[in-house]
Amino acid sequence: MSAPARFSSTEPGGLTGHLDGFVRAVREAGIPVGISQAVDAAEILTVVDLLDREQLRHGLAAVLLQRAAQRPTYDVLFDLWWPLSDRPAAGGDEDGEDGEDREDGAAGESTLDLPGADDPDLAELMRARLLQLLLDGDDEALRRFARAAVELLGRAQPSPSGQSFFSYRVLRALSPDTLVSQLLAGLLAEGDRGGLAEQVARQTVKERLAALRAAIEAEVRRRTAAEKGRDKVAKNAVRPLVDQVDFLRAQSSDLAELRRAVAPLARRLAVRLSARRRLGREGRLDFRKTVRASLGTGGVPVITHHRPRKVHKPELVVLCDVSGSVAGFSHFTLMLTQALREHFTGVRAFAFVDTTDEVTRFFRPGADVVDAVSRIGREADVVGFDGHSDYGTAFEVFADRWASAVGPKTSLLILGDGRTNYRPPGIPVLADLVRRSRSAHWLNPEPRRLWGSGDSAADRYGEAIDMVECRNAAQLADFVTTL
Amino acid sequence: MARPPTQFPQFSSVGDVEKRLSEAGYLPDAQISTTVFLADRLGKPLLVEGPAGTGKTELAKALATATGSELIRLQCYEGLDEARALYEWNYKKQLLRIQASQGTDGADWNTVHDDIFGEEFLLARPLLTAIRRTEPTVLLIDETDKADVEVEGLLLEVLSDFQVTIPELGTVTATRRPMVVLTSNATRELSEALKRRCLYLALDYPSAEREREIVLSRVPDLAPGLAEQLVRTVRALRALELKKSPSISETLDWAQTLLELGLDTLDESAMRSTLGVVLKHASDQVRAAAELRLN
């Protein structure tokens, strides 16, 4: 089942049918594609050069996608639906690589296509070639190498269900990470170790290794799809979009990406709040100015001038659980706090585990968020007793020491999972805080159905305060728009 | 799907786009040239989104140069309204006209009325100008995300039919549809409806290879070795979690700076003294200095 067969298919609807399947897969991966976009996609097929795979990829992306974050998911699906053919460049290059693929591909293959795939010498040979490729930094050659490597090294024992390929087998055989020191030596020919040059070289090596890994994984996916059907691969291979990643289950690889996703969100929130502030900027008529301006038009007040509205400065108090159980979540909410601090002066942040401390000082405008978060852990007085969340005590300490922080102009934002470790939840204190504030919200990173289970007091808190489920960046964005 | 006014496609193939944009001083990658080609062929507006300084506005300018069109630019900002984007009546002039005719009794109401709502008193703003032009035009709507949501509605209307109705004058339809490029920094999500009508092009920082070519084509006097070093350093900076990653234009500024200072290598001391060219937040500079071991 190779794509070229499908491409050259003469039956009517073959290609459109294929496109339809692709569009549906894109939709299933959580990228909204409307009917008109699907129609446009079909129109794209009539305009682009179908023999150029990259043209098709970018062309379809132009109509199907609406956000940059959707691109990685789209690329995985595209590679599955419009795969490279197995036979490199036989006849016309339906597999889409540029023309140079042919000569180079043949040359690359000939040195690699050795008999005896289990030979340890082969792995050595491949490693030597890989080292050279990584030093050269030619992406195209690296991709071809990855394809050959999967073919030669990635095969598992054939099973009745068919041939399987595994990226870990390839990576184990090549162990590219052990090449780093050699690569650095190669890139730093002038011998300036340490310092700037080495840091820069390390980054280059990191990028190239990541590209290799991605290429190997893509090739394994392609082979598996050819073997077992692409629907099966599509389900497993497609990672959730960044804004759908659960805060509490985010892995360290997701964290950096999530931070990047939350950063514009924070900026958007700030823009939104300031837009709200400026909305209806026309206040009362400025009579003096209007009369003056009317002199230019012969005394007819064509343009009226208004006094600027008195700006209501939003005062925001953020009270954030920073205990280990919600670490991933609090990280992002603190980022939001930081962004708000940069735009508004009236933001105060408090963190708590089993006692509360003010952390506003760590979020000076211009401060680094990652830094601030680690400093909160080190310097702020948030652990009084055993380091397990104690909401009751935390609320009491807050209400007691910073009684004036919450007033009739203040919006109160509480962030936490509401898991009290079976300690008193301190609901009366919270209810009092809510009553004193202008508005109060609680963002809970746990799914709604778990509220109130075990030591969670979320359901009881929910009666005292407006509690909102906020498990991923998308929900955070939704909340932001209602604020 | 009304695309009434026809326009001859400007480009014959994706390769043609690439060639002519390169000649105009803009080095496109496969994604950019394909999307531009499609925008031209399908006659759809092109929505370019990406971080600041990745060459969005530059693309529109290069397009205008490459196709020999005039660039008409509508810069969006908060509070932009129809009067600034589409057209406005020149009130002051109208008033003068009325006052001037007050003494003479020959001017009856109808002639004055017809007169003051004529061509002479119309101030055409960028959108109307672009629609009325008969020569090839590139309409650049810059920083669309900065405009209010209401403006999007206006754009939707103008961009789908390429016609504007002025109550006093009638409907103005484009005789030659301009090529439309919208840019956005994604500070807010544009409406689905607007995005749906456009071809979407996400511009990100370029690959190392392409960025090196850009640097060498814009700062041709720079030694290739130094360009390579510069680009790698900029990529290392982008990998850090900075508040504002260095953009392409800042890379170019940096290249220019190194050239002006006569530096032939980018070592620690050179970088320390010129870091301000690429990093413009104090915290970013501190962070970069620490991570890249500048001290």
Residue B215 pLDDT greater than 80, yes or no:
yes
Instruction: Tell me the pLDDT tens digit for each residue of B34-59.
Output: 999 999 988 889 999 988 888 899 99
pLDDT band at A59 (very low <50, low <70, confident <90, very high): very high
Residues B44 and B114 in one domain: no
Residues of chain A positioned with their CB less than 8 A from the CB of B91: 297, 302-303
Q: Which amino acid, residue A110?
A: S
Residues B116 and B187 in one domain: no
Instruction: Tell me the pLDDT tens digit for each residue of A349-406.
Output: 888 888 888 888 887 766 666 677 778 777 777 777 777 888 888 898 898 888 888 8
On whether residue B75 sits in a domain, the answer given is yes
Q: Which residue has the higher pLDDT, B150 or A343?
A: B150
Instruction: Tell me the pLDDT tens digit for each residue of A211-244.
Output: 888 888 888 888 887 777 777 777 776 666 666 7
On whether residue B228 sits in a domain, the answer given is yes
On whether residue B2 sits in a domain, the answer given is no
Residue B243's domain comprises 208-291
Q: Which of residues 219-278 of B touch A (CB under 8 A)?
A: 229, 232-233, 235-236, 239, 241, 266-268, 271
Residues B148 and B273 in one domain: no
Q: Which residue has the higher pLDDT, A327 or A184?
A: A184
Nearest residue to A142 via CA among A221, A53, A216, A57:
A216
Q: Which of B16, B56, B90, B200 to mutate to test the interface with A (most CBs of A within 10 A)?
A: B200
- Look at residue B46 in the predicted model and tell me its pLDDT: 93
Report the distance separating Cα B188 and Cα A264, nearest Å: 8
- Look at residue A114 in the predicted model and tell me its pLDDT: 43
- Look at residue A191 in the predicted model and tell me its pLDDT: 56
On whether residue B246 sits in a domain, the answer given is yes
Residue B104 pLDDT greater than 80, yes or no:
no
Contact A58 B287 (CB under 8 A): no
Residues of chain A positioned with their CB less than 8 A from the CB of B96: 298
Q: Which amino acid, residue A29?
A: A
On whether residue B3 sits in a domain, the answer given is no
On whether residue B6 sits in a domain, the answer given is no
Contact B292 A199 (CB under 8 A): yes
Report the distance separating Cα B48 and Cα B209, nearest Å: 22
**Which residues, including other chains, have CB under 8 Å from residue B193's CB and lie 6 or more apart?**
B152, B156
Contact A47 B78 (CB under 8 A): no
Residues B98 and B139 in one domain: no
Residues of chain A positioned with their CB less than 8 A from the CB of B292: 196, 199-200
Which CATH number does A259-279+313-482 carry?
A: 3.40.50.410
* Tokens found for residue A320: 């954030």
Report the distance separating Cα A230 and Cα A216, nearest Å: 17
**Which residues, including other chains, have CB under 8 Å from residue A478's CB and lie 6 or more apart?**
none
Residue A281 pLDDT greater than 60, yes or no:
no
Boundaries of CATH 3.40.50.410 in chain A?
Answer: 259-279+313-482
Separation in Å, CA of A28 to nearest CA in chain B: 19
Residues of chain A positioned with their CB less than 8 A from the CB of B266: 196
Separation in Å, CA of A71 to nearest CA in chain B: 9
Q: Which residue has the higher pLDDT, A383 or B139?
A: B139
Segment among A15-29, A103-117, A459-473, B190-204 with least mean pLDDT: A103-117
Domain stops at, among B180, B202, B224:
B202
- Look at residue A104 in the predicted model and tell me its pLDDT: 40
B56-67 and B14-23 helices, crossing angle to 10°: 100
- Mean pLDDT for the stretch of residues B105-112: 69
Report the distance separating Cα B70 and Cα A65, nearest Å: 30
- Mean pLDDT for the stretch of residues A151-178: 76
* Tokens found for residue B133: 């032009």
Domain stops at, among B77, B107, B122:
B122
On whether residue B154 sits in a domain, the answer given is yes
Helix (H, G, I), strand (E, B) or coil at A173: helix
* Tokens found for residue A184: 């650095």
Q: Is A366 exposed, middle or buried (0-12, 13-18, 19+ CB in 10 A)?
A: middle
Q: Is A283 exposed, middle or buried (0-12, 13-18, 19+ CB in 10 A)?
A: exposed
Residues B49 and B137 in one domain: yes
- ipTM confidence: 0.87
Cross-strand bridge partners of residue A159: A162
Residue B163 pLDDT greater than 80, yes or no:
yes
Residues B118 and B135 in one domain: no
Contact B195 A66 (CB under 8 A): yes
Residues B46 and B99 in one domain: no
Nearest residue to B10 via CA among B74, B62, B73:
B62
Q: Which residue has the higher pLDDT, B111 or A99?
A: B111
Residues B104 and B246 in one domain: no
Residues B157 and B270 in one domain: no
pLDDT band at A108 (very low <50, low <70, confident <90, very high): very low
Residues of chain B positioned with their CB less than 8 A from the CB of A277: none
Contact A366 B91 (CB under 8 A): no
Residues of chain A positioned with their CB less than 8 A from the CB of B147: none
Number of domains in chain B: 3
* B102 in contact with chain A, both atoms CB, cutoff 8 A: no
Q: Which amino acid, residue A94?
A: E
Segment among A300-314, B90-104, B233-247 with least mean pLDDT: A300-314
**Which residues, including other chains, have CB under 8 Å from residue B106's CB and lie 6 or more apart?**
none
Domain stops at, among B122, B139, B166:
B122
Residues B75 and B214 in one domain: no
Of all residues in chain A, the percent with pLDDT exceeding 90 is: 3
Q: Which of residues 171-210 of B touch A (CB under 8 A)?
A: 186-189, 192, 195-196, 199-202, 204, 207-209
pLDDT band at A7 (very low <50, low <70, confident <90, very high): very low
DSSP letters for A234-246: HHHH-PPPGGGS-
What is the DSSP pairing of strand B137-142 with strand B179-184? Answer: parallel
Residue A69 pLDDT greater than 60, yes or no:
yes
Residues B219 and B272 in one domain: yes
Separation in Å, CA of B61 to nearest CA in chain A: 20
